[in-house]
């Protein structure tokens, strides 16, 4: 275990050092993050003007959903996108060979090798949105509630990661045509709005098939004290299931890895 | 529309055993199956049939203990981080292999001494020359003191000087550590300098396993005899004296089987007024080059 922690420290140390080689890039990314958040708040204000409701959610309640969306999007920018989008490059260029020959879990390496600090402010902004929206909506806030919120955030993150990793792992086969990175962004985007704002068939889809509901709506319901226990357990179960699926799929996919030729 | 599939065996019926500490050269034309075999030996590719055992392990299981004992260096691919100095990549590798900082520093000092690397280790990889980069790649690949080295074209693209240095290093390393080395290269000089034993893969089959000079006699079983005569002679005069390659005025080229060579030369000197006589072996890299170009034996 110590070896993994030390490796992770070195991974992120070198990732930071690499970013600092291109400081202007970091600055540009930060500006882009700020602008995209402003844009999504504007979109949201069109749907939920103060005093209006959508799917039973008020403006301030919907802000909590938007806040969780922002947190997850920040996590995606910080960890998921930089790491998982490079899987396809590793497969295409054959540098996956080097990773597979290291005495360390290849999924661990591929999932956490780098991180992009430009996504961190987004996570902070998202949390602030959640706090502010919760305050506005008069959410009851207990220490236990905060713990459950964090657990559900973890559940959402794990589901998103597992889905993303599953798709990225298919690049073992579809290396030439497939750039998986942006697919889940689109799915995640549907999590900007409370899942009850969608028609019933989509609601089913977003709860059970692609569990977007657990990414943003359920954590928001926890903040508002509306969540029920079965839903929470379903979320935890789904996260564990998706993670296990991603892991075994990776082992399965590696059997078909032929390595780019010299 | 349907896609038609065809199964292609990259490697078939290739069997060999390598003793610990051996340095073995792996030859073959492009597409002969060298890299495929090398990757099967490392455990990167699952063999569809057959068995591979390296140091007691089945490579394709990629057991961590197995991975700690081997290393792969590829001339065309690099593991060093492009934007950072090699030292950063070395520290990452040290952590991944669970090497303590003290041991890592000692090994880096030792290896960089052997490789003649100094301040290059603290300059971004993108600013290094190809030769320096390859040496740093070798350092990164050897940090965990592997017992088995798989080297796929380690001198590719290097200038003659840098090639010689890498070669020298590999010979030294093998002598000092007793590591087993399996090396592929397009440069015959690498093979002749480093490998007493050579495997030649041809169209997925193992064509030769043994010393390099034996390969030469298999590829070119005849020796070349060049004659310069005092006077022109007709071609018929050489009947029974090997195979006539060419006859230009007074210059004659013959191919003679090694066991008949002395008898033929004696007869030539006896029958003709010989001004000059030369016996040659075709150079090995020319022979192998011919083989690769023709794509057949």
DSSP A196-245: GGS-HHHHHIIIIIS-GGGTTHHHHHHHTT---HHHHHHHHHHHHHHHHH
pLDDT of residue A182: 67
Chain B positions touching A255 (Cβ under 8 A) are 46
Nearest residue on chain B to A95, alpha-carbon basis: B77
Sign of CA dihedral A82, A85, A87, A93: negative
pLDDT at A109 over 80: yes
pLDDT at B285 over 80: no
Highest CATH level, class, for B221-280: alpha beta
pLDDT at B295 over 60: no
Percent of chain A at pLDDT above 90?
Answer: 28
Residue B50: name the closest of B58, B42, B62 by CA: B58
Same topology, domains B23-217 and B221-280? Answer is no
Distance (Å, rounded) from C-alpha B90 to C-alpha B78?
13
Do the Cβ atoms of A95 and B89 come within 8 Å?
Answer: no
Q: What is the pTM of this model?
A: 0.82
Helix (H) or strand (E) holding B42: helix B34-42
pLDDT tens-digit series, residues A47-83: 666 667 777 788 888 889 889 988 998 898 899 988 9
Across B48-56, average pLDDT: 85
Average pLDDT, chain B: 86
Chain B positions touching A4 (Cβ under 8 A) are none
pLDDT tens-digit series, residues B131-147: 899 999 999 999 999 99
pLDDT of residue A62: 85
Determine phi and psi for B144, rounding to 5 degrees. -90, 15
ipTM exceeding 0.90, yes/no: no
Look at A22-31, A66-75, B5-14 and tell me which has the smallest mean pLDDT: B5-14
A3 touches B at CB < 8 Å: yes
Domain map (residue ranges) of chain B = 23-217, 221-280
Distance (Å, rounded) from C-alpha A83 to C-alpha B227?
69
DSSP secondary structure letters along A77-92: IIIIHHHHHHHHHHHH
Q: Which residues pair with B72 in a beta bridge?
A: B150
A145 touches B at CB < 8 Å: no
Q: Are A22 and A118 contacting, i.e. CB atoms less than 8 angstroms apart?
A: no
* Widest Cα–Cα separation across chain A: 64
Chain A positions touching B74 (Cβ under 8 A) are 94, 97, 262
Most confident of A103-112, A161-170, B152-161: A103-112
Q: Which residues pair with B57 in a beta bridge?
A: B54
pLDDT tens-digit series, residues A218-239: 899 888 888 888 888 999 999 9
Sign of CA dihedral A137, A142, A147, A148: negative
pLDDT of residue B4: 53
Nearest residue on chain A to B68, alpha-carbon basis: A103
Residue A60: both structure tokens together = 């301030």
Do the Cβ atoms of B98 and A262 come within 8 Å?
Answer: no
pLDDT at B10 over 70: no
Distance (Å, rounded) from C-alpha B67 to C-alpha B87?
22
Nearest residue on chain B to A103, alpha-carbon basis: B64
Percent of chain B at pLDDT above 70?
Answer: 92
pLDDT of residue A262: 46
β-strand B23-27 against B180-184: which pairing, if any? parallel
According to CATH, the topology of domain B23-217 is Rossmann fold (3.40.50)
pLDDT at B66 over 70: yes
């Amino acid at each position: 275990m110590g070896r993994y922690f030390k490796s992770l420290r070195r991974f992120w140390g070198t990732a930071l050092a690499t970013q600092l080689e291109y400081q202007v890039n970091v600055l540009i990314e930060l500006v882009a993050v700020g602008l995209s958040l402003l844009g999504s708040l504007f979109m949201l204000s069109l749907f939920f003007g103060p005093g209006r409701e959508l799917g039973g959610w008020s403006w301030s309640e919907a802000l909590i959903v938007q806040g969780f969306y922002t947190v997850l999007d920040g996590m995606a920018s910080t960890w998921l996108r930089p790491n998982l989008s490079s899987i396809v490059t590793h497969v295409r260029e054959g540098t996956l060979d080097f990773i597979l020959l290291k005495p360390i879990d290849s999924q661990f390496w591929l999932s956490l090798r780098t991180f992009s600090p430009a996504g961190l402010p987004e996570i902070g902004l998202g949390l602030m949105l959640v706090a502010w929206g919760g305050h506005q909506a008069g959410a009851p806030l207990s220490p236990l509630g905060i713990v459950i919120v964090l657990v559900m955030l973890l559940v959402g993150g794990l589901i998103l990661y597992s889905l993303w990793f599953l798709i990225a792992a298919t690049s073992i086969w579809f290396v030439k045509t497939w750039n998986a990175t942006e697919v889940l962004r689109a799915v995640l985007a549907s999590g900007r709005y409370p899942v009850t704002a969608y028609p019933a068939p989509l609601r089913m889809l977003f709860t059970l098939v692609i569990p977007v509901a657990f990414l943003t709506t359920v954590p928001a319901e926890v903040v508002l004290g509306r969540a029920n226990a079965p839903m929470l357990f379903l979320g935890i179960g789904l996260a564990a299931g998706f993670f296990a699926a991603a892991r075994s799929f990776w082992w399965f996919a590696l059997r078909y890895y032929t390595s780019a030729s010299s | 529309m349907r896609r038609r599939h065809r199964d292609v065996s990259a490697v078939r019926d290739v069997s060999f055993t390598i003793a610990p500490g051996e340095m073995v050269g792996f030859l073959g034309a492009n597409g002969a199956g060298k890299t495929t075999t090398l990757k099967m030996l490392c455990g990167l590719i699952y063999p569809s049939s057959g068995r591979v055992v390296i140091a007691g392990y089945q490579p394709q299981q990629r057991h961590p203990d197995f991975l700690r004992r081997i290393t792969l260096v590829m001339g065309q691919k690099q593991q060093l981080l492009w934007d950072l100095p090699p030292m950063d990549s070395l520290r990452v590798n040290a952590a991944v292999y669970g090497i303590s900082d003290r041991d890592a520093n000692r090994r880096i000092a030792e290896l960089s001494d052997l490789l003649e690397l100094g301040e290059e280790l603290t300059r971004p990889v993108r600013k290094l020359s190809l030769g320096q980069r390859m040496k740093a790649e070798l350092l990164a690949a050897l940090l965990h003191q592997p017992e088995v080295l798989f080297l796929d074209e380690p001198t590719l693209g290097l200038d003659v000087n840098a090639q010689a240095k890498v070669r020298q290093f590999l010979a030294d390393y093998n002598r000092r550590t007793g590591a087993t080395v399996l090396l592929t290269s397009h440069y015959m000089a690498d093979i002749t300098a480093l490998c007493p034993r050579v495997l030649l893969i041809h169209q997925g089959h193992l064509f030769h396993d043994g010393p390099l000079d034996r390969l030469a006699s298999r590829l070119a079983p005849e020796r070349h005899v060049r004659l310069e005569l005092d006077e022109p002679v007709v071609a018929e005069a050489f009947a029974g004296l090997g195979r006539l390659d060419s006859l230009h005025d007074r210059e004659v080229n013959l191919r003679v089987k090694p066991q008949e060579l002395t008898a033929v030369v004696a007869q030539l000197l006896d029958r003709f007024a010989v001004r000059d006589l030369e016996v040659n072996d075709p150079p090995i890299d020319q022979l192998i080059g011919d083989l690769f170009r023709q794509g057949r034996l």
